[in-house]
Amino acid sequence: MNKRDLSMQDDMRRVLATVLRRVTPKTDERAKMRALAGKLERKVTLASKQLGVKAKVRVEGSVAKDTWLSGEPDVDVFMRVPASIPRESLGEVCLKVAREAAKGSDQIERFAEHPYLEAFVDGTRVNIVPCYSAKRGEWLSAMDRTPFHSDYINKNLDVKMRSQVRLLKKFMKGISVYGAEIKVGGFSGYLCELLVLHCGSFLDAVEAFAKYRQRMVIDIEGFYVSRQREVDLLFDDPLVVVDPVDRARNVASATRKRNLYTFIAAAQAFLKRPSLNFFYPPVTIPLNAGKMREELKMRSGGSMTVFVAFGRVDAVPDILWGQLYKSLRSMHKLVALSDFSLLRDFAWSDEKDLNVFGFELESCCIPEVKKHLGPPLEKEQECEKFLLKHLNASRTVSGPYVEDGRWVVQVRRNYTDACRLIREKLKDGGKNAGVAEGISYVLKKGFSVFVNDEVVKVYEKNNDFAEFLTDFLSGKPKWLQAA
């Protein structure tokens, strides 16, 4: 082994030792969490009795499994209720209990498969989540598996592995791919635990993903040994981690491809040059309004970014993000099918009063005329239809004529200006553009379209958006600076 390799190994050891020291909860922190978890269990149990809801109450999640990160605890309190409570009433009934139990704290209603309550108690984020007291494999809601997940991890993950899970979680957070919620579409805590359980350690997991090719299937319990075809028929995701408590479920199904491939790229970079930046990325300092205006003006000779800004959408965050992403996909298709060359796009929200779509284009304006290829001459019926459609049509500029064995026509585009396209398609709420209903309702009330530096009037009023746009325009992940 040469000096460079030895030096890199030393760097790796130092980085991992430093991170592990920071992310491992201290004795007093553990005691505080135990006390808080016990208090919350008692409060939810009492509130359930007061409101006549029969429930088995237990702390789940990373606190129950001792895989939580120092300074970043989330306490998940689960209410396991009988199947006699109808599915459509589960959220409503249990939210009443949750609100009563967390009375006096800041509360936010969130949504997974059904509503649950997020509250901040003694400075700690708390989730009070309903599920059914189901038997294994007889799930009535997605959350019913969670207690079984906790039991499985507690049975199979030893103390050393729990430390390795902490390293993997912090790495995922540092490269912004952690969290299975709709907004992120990343790696869940349970998925991180299973990856360490399967691979053996943080480094083994990183090395496995650094060598990722095409597809990875992890089946810890061996449900599908010698049954590859069945796996392929059940799961078509690029990453498949079969749930040890439910063989029909892929734990990684919520992980979007972009986040999977970001993890792969970051894993490769980390192994070549380990750095704390992968775990603790530098804080984004937004460009001041003047610098941002200059940055966007400078791009006017190259790419153009069109922004659509609109107001509050009355929906819990998970529903909001689902609608934002659905609308973005539809608008992406609309812009691309109108012949604009789309470089990147995004949806952003402060989950309060500001929502923004952004479309970075090679150019905001395109030529009025385009060449449209028709069918080859041997397809006579298709040729006849093509000629009937384009011969003497109002949009036809030239042709039809024959070129390279097929009919061709030059036609006028419907839209040559991306801003005009977006304004016209959204003026009725985007009803015919595939915009989600909740977003459409707000767009009908009004929206603003900005091009490049025009967005600075929004930028300078919202620091969170300023941070996001600074990072977006950079385009470079923070961990790449270390690599």
Average pLDDT over the chain reads 92
Q: Which two tokens stand for residue 22?
A: 């920071």
pLDDT higher than 90, residue 387: yes
**pLDDT the model gives residue 389:** 93
**1 has a pLDDT exceeding 60:** no
CB atoms within 10 A of CB 473: 16
Q: In angstroms, what CA-CA distances link 37 with 33, 129, 131, 202, 313?
A: 6, 14, 18, 28, 33
Q: How far apart are CA 483 and CA 481, in angstroms?
A: 5
Q: Which phi and psi (to 5°) does residue 359 adopt?
A: -130, 110
Q: Residue 6: pLDDT band by 50, 70, 90 thresholds? A: low
* Residue 270, CA atoms < 13 Å, CB-side half-sphere: 33
Q: Residue 106's pLDDT is what?
A: 86
Give mean pLDDT, residues 437-456: 94
Domains 27-141 and 369-412 share a fold: no
| pLDDT over threshold 80, residue 114 | no
Residue 276 burial class via C-beta count within 10 angstroms: exposed 0-12, middle 13-18, buried 19 and up: middle
The model's pTM is 0.91
For residue 175, pLDDT over 70 is answered with yes
- Give how far Cα 408 sits from Cα of 267, 339, 366, 399, Å: 49, 17, 20, 7
- Give buried/exposed letters for 316-339 (b at 16+ CB in 10 A, else e): ebbbbbbbbbbbbebbeebbeebe
Query: Which of these CATH numbers, 3.30.70.590, 3.40.50.1370, 3.90.1490.10, 2.40.30.40, describes 289-365+416-481?
Result: 3.30.70.590
- Separation between Cα atoms, residue 25 and residue 22, nearest integer Å: 8
**Mean pLDDT value across residues 167-175:** 97
Q: What is the pLDDT of residues 116-125, one digit of tens each?
A: 888 998 888 9
Hey, what are 35's tokens?
């006390």
Determine contact, residues 355/327, Cβ cutoff 8 Å: no
In the chain, helix, strand, coil percent, each to 5?
Answer: 50, 20, 30
Does the domain at 27-141 match CATH 3.30.1370.60? Answer given as no
Tell which wins on pLDDT, 443 or 475. Answer: 443
The predicted pLDDT at position 300 comes to 61
Distance, C-alpha 63 to centroid of its chain: 23
How is the chain split into domains, by residue range?
27-141, 157-278, 289-365+416-481, 369-412
Find the mean pLDDT for residues 243-260.
Answer: 96
Query: What's the N-to-C CA distance of the chain in angstroms?
Result: 22
- Tens of pLDDT, residues 35-92: 999 999 999 999 999 999 999 999 999 999 999 999 988 899 999 999 999 888 888 8
User: CATH assignment of 369-412?
Assistant: 3.30.70
Cβ neighbour number for residue 148 with a 10 Å cutoff: 19
CATH fold for domain 157-278: Poly(a)-polymerase, middle domain (1.10.1410)
